[in-house]
Amino acid sequence: MPNRFGPSFGRQIPERLIRCLNGGAVRYEILHEPSDAADSGRRLIVPGLIATAVVRAGKQRFLAVTSTGFDLDLKRFSKLVGEPVRLETEDEFKWLFPDCALGAIPPFGNLYGLITWVDNTLIKTEHIVFFAGTLIDSIKLSYSAYEQIVQPNVGAFTNKRSR
């Protein structure tokens, strides 16, 4: 039976994410979307919205962070990490993020024991917006503050999405 409350019912923004942001003494804004938007599959559409993907290279996992207007290029990512890579399925990685709804993993690999890679198209972005562990809560944060907290690796591993 489907969850009549939607995929984020009972979920809160992970405490470890809030502690990390507050501990970094950075300014951020929490954006809240009505729960019916998550229920109907609608998503927040704002400038700076980013996406995350879990990528595997051998026994190593990485968190790849991209702009939503770009597609992850696994061949380019493979060159960065020096070995063949593949996307992990949700079933393979969901245990890593017990405090997050699927599809709402924040771009903080450091909080989950993963090396974070950010596509270079994001480094000139003033602010980023990302799902904060739920499908109805997002956080807006300056890219420079994000970079200060996460200290991600940066590389070119996306292609502009064709319309």
Query: What percent of the chain has a predicted confidence (pLDDT) above 90?
Result: 74
Q: Where are the domains of the chain?
A: 15-160
Over residues 114-161, the pLDDT tens digits come to 999 999 999 999 999 999 999 999 999 999 999 999 999 999 999 998
C-alpha to C-alpha distance for 102 and 47, rounded to whole angstroms: 22
**Fold held by 15-160:** YbaK protein (3.90.960)
Model pTM score: 0.85
Tell me the one-letter amino acid at 56. R
* Joined tokens for residue 142: 């300056």
CB 32 within 8 A of CB 133: no
pLDDT (tens digit per residue) in 56-85: 999 999 999 999 889 999 999 999 999 999
Q: How confident is the model at residue 105 (pLDDT cuts 50, 70, 90)?
A: very high
Which residues does 67 contact at the CB level (< 8 Å), separation at least 6?
A: 48, 49, 50, 51, 119, 121, 122, 125, 158
